Structure 1
Amino acid sequence: MKTLSWNCHGHGTPWAFQFLTEIVIQKHPDFLLLSEILCKRNTVEKLQNRIGFEGMVIVETQGHSGGIDFLFRNNDVVNLNSYSKNHIDLTNHNKQCQLYRVTGVYSEPDRRKRSEIWNLLRTLAMYNNLPWCLIRDFNNVVSQNDKKGGRPYPHNLVQGFRDVLEECQLIDMDLQGHRYMWERGVGTSQWIEVRLDRALVNVSFQAMFEVAKLINLEISTSDHCPILLALQDKNYIARTQRFKFENAWLHETMCQQIVAEVWAEHEHLSLFDKLKECLNILSAWGQEITGNFKQRIKSCKRILKTLKGRRDDNSVELIKHEQRKLSEIYTQHEVFWRQHSKQLWLREGDSNIKFFHASVKKRRAINKITSLKDRDGGLVDWNSGLENMVINYFDDLFTASQTK
């Protein structure tokens, strides 16, 4: 079971709608929790139909703020317990048909109303003794380490939130990935990062899902990053992930160098064993390239800011170097998401015949060969021997030759 949670700050916008669709296809969550949706019910229903989820509970936006909705893939495993403008409480069951609760929470941005949310948590805690998880934007930190930059978080809010967690016997789950999920003033002297989103669980929930993970996905069209709660039962056996080549790696000269070095160092091995060696090395190296786009972008921007502040002759070339590096990272990022969104094209093709045929025709037009250059550099088309030229090329290509 996976729960994807995101403060999307208005998923009615086209870019947020597209981002949500792609990330659901990539992560395949069973539940999708959204807050600050800033759109009407019919817009959420369009999203629901597009991603193929059966059920939905929505608390609509009040004025120009708020809004929270919970979408679920399978209608049969969910029962609605209660809801308000700040929460949706559901009862689900795992593969062994054991019941547990998941509550989506959206805390008041107004700090003067924070006590209302804390009282809500106390009331929900008394509902039953099932394994329980609360997830989403609590708009509060549990320690000063959850905030970087700006003024310290008010002590009374930190202590008040901690007191509620202790009273309700809730545990703050560890987060994998970047520590902070909300930011403002990126690259400026007022740059602030805060961890406002989290998952809180009780002891029985922790016992039911001992190997559960909370992951910061780190890529977002909002000022909040989405988080993914992956629930795994005790008897879960992790699958070995298959190797997948990322097109974004082709923009790194190191990729070609790795392959060349493997081929040179293992010249005596068979083709299969050479490919296996490449797989192992590229898998480890690739995680550093496509696994941390956000940190790499932040690092470049931080260096650029420092260099621009120096204003000396030596910094000019360094600034140009970092700008080129930042441009390359953005290109890799775009290629990465374009490759990972191909499943979206397949889904649209299956459900929309016109879209499917239009896409095929467009691809055929792009891939159609009308002419090629021969060895002398002259253009040869289908009326002047292109067919024979293609046949001769592949005859030469597949003619047996001496190999090691």
Structure 2
Amino acid sequence: MNALAWNCLGLGSLGKIQFLQEVTRSEKPSFVFLCETISRYEKMEKLCSCEPVKFSHSPIDISVYGAGSKSWRLTGIYGEPARTRRFKMWEFLKNLSRDANLPWCVMGDINNVTSQTSKKGGPPYPNHLIEGFNDCLHEANLHDLDIIGHQFTWEKGRNTDHWVEIRLDRVLANTHWLDVFDMDKVYNLQGYPSDHSPLLLCPEMQLRRNKRRPFRFENAWLTEPMCSQIIKDCWEEEEDNTILQRLSKCAESLNVWGKEITGSFSSRIKDCKAKLKLLRGKRDAWSVAEFENTRQQLFLVLDQKEIF
């Protein structure tokens, strides 16, 4: 059961909605925790394929019961942004930890750092806030999980003299969690249309089984002239066969052709994400310009895929 956490900084733009839909389609998280959606409940309900577990201004704390797997606890949190009130979140985590009988995981925009290496650019991070957060983690028995990919999750001032990157988004887990999910992985995802990048938590290794999907005719194919031509050719070539045999041949040909079209989108999206991964964090002029150009290409492909 994977979990995704993302501070989207508003879901008002089509680009962010398309990005979220693409990530959920490709990564298939069982849980999605969004911060700062700046959206009403009705809009969020329309975006979800099912009823949201909870829509709240407070942290979301749930127990996860998986068939055939260990039960665990997941807390989605948006950390206090005001530095003078950070202690409130520290106290909140410590209070939650006192009732942590299950393997426990906390994820989201924590808005805290564990060391000066969690920040690049700008003035040093206040040491008293670093010490306060580390004391909180120690008392709450929470460990900061390593992330795979770029080590910073938030940025501002890209391609300026004031460019700052900080690892504000985190996944924390107690010792019980680490004992149970010793194969867990946390990925920093690419191509985000926000100041924050999403984090994907994979608690354990999951074997993917190849399943043969039944044929489905896509209405979007009707806008392609090639679709009607394929049907016409198949029908004429199979005129001595039964109707069911003709339909089977049409389905087979359309399935191959349809995969070529949708596959081109998937390949372009994959290439863009791979390029973003290579360029992210580089600060020379060419890399910065190429990063932004590639990100715009990714949004364009997502837009084209949505239209198709």
Supply the distance in 2 between the matched residues of 1:238 and 1:103 (Cα, whole angstroms): 27
CA contact (8 A) 1:181 1:194 kept: yes
Q: Counterpart of 1:302? A: 284
Are 2:30 and 1:30 equivalent residues in the alignment? yes
Supply the distance in 2 between the matched residues of 1:140 and 1:205 (Cα, whole angstroms): 21
Paired residue secondary structure (2:129): helix
The letter for the 2-side match of 1:198 is R
User: 1:20 offset after TM fit, Å?
Assistant: 1.3
TM-score by length of 1: 0.56
Relative contact order, higher structure (CA 8 A, sep 6+):
2
Are 2:79 and 1:107 equivalent residues in the alignment? yes
Q: Counterpart of 1:204? A: 176
Supply the distance in 1 between the matched residues of 2:91 and 2:27 (Cα, whole angstroms): 34
Supply the distance in 2 between the matched residues of 1:151 and 1:331 (Cα, whole angstroms): 30
* 1:184-333 alignment, distance < 5 Å: 184-232=156-204, 237=207, 290-296=273-279, 299=282, 302-304=284-286, 329=294, 333=298
Moved more, 15-24 or 35-44: 15-24
Supply the distance in 2 between the matched residues of 1:330 and 1:8 (Cα, whole angstroms): 16
Q: Counterpart of 1:21? A: 21
The letter for the 2-side match of 1:2 is N
Q: Counterpart of 1:56? A: 53
Question: Which of these two proteins has the greater Rg computed from alpha carbons?
Answer: 1
User: 1:92 offset after TM fit, Å?
Assistant: 0.4
The letter for the 2-side match of 1:214 is V
Q: Counterpart of 1:378? A: none
* 1:130-169 alignment, distance < 5 Å: 130-169=102-141
User: 1:159 offset after TM fit, Å?
Assistant: 0.3
Are 2:100 and 1:128 equivalent residues in the alignment? yes
The letter for the 2-side match of 1:53 is C
Query: Could you list the per-position Cα deviations for residues 352-397 of structure 1 after superposition, in whole angstroms to 9, with x for gaps in the alignment?
Result: xxxxxxx7xxxxxxxxxxxxxxxxxxxxxxxxxxxxxxxxxxxxxx
CA contact (8 A) 2:191 2:298 kept: no
Q: Counterpart of 1:41? A: 41
Identity of counterpart residues, as a percentage? 35
CA contact (8 A) 2:150 2:277 kept: no
Supply the distance in 1 between the matched residues of 2:272 and 2:29 (Cα, whole angstroms): 25
Question: Which of 66, 77, 88 is the aligned partner of 1:116?
Answer: 88
User: 1:97 offset after TM fit, Å?
Assistant: 4.4
Q: Judging changes above 3 Å, is the alpha-carbon distance between structure 1 residues 93 and 296 closer, same or farther for their aligned structure 2 residues?
A: same
Supply the distance in 1 between the matched residues of 2:166 and 2:291 (Cα, whole angstroms): 24
User: 1:25 offset after TM fit, Å?
Assistant: 1.1
Unaligned runs of 5+ in 1: 60-84, 241-285, 306-321, 346-358, 360-404
Supply the distance in 1 between the matched residues of 2:271 and 2:19 (Cα, whole angstroms): 23
CA contact (8 A) 1:2 1:230 kept: yes
Paired residue secondary structure (2:55): strand
Q: Counterpart of 2:2? A: 2
Paired residue secondary structure (2:136): helix
CA contact (8 A) 1:293 1:333 kept: no
Unaligned runs of 5+ in 2: 211-268
Paired residue secondary structure (1:19): helix
The letter for the 2-side match of 1:293 is L
- The number of equivalent residue pairs is 250
* 1:340-351 alignment, distance < 5 Å: 342=305
The letter for the 2-side match of 1:43 is K
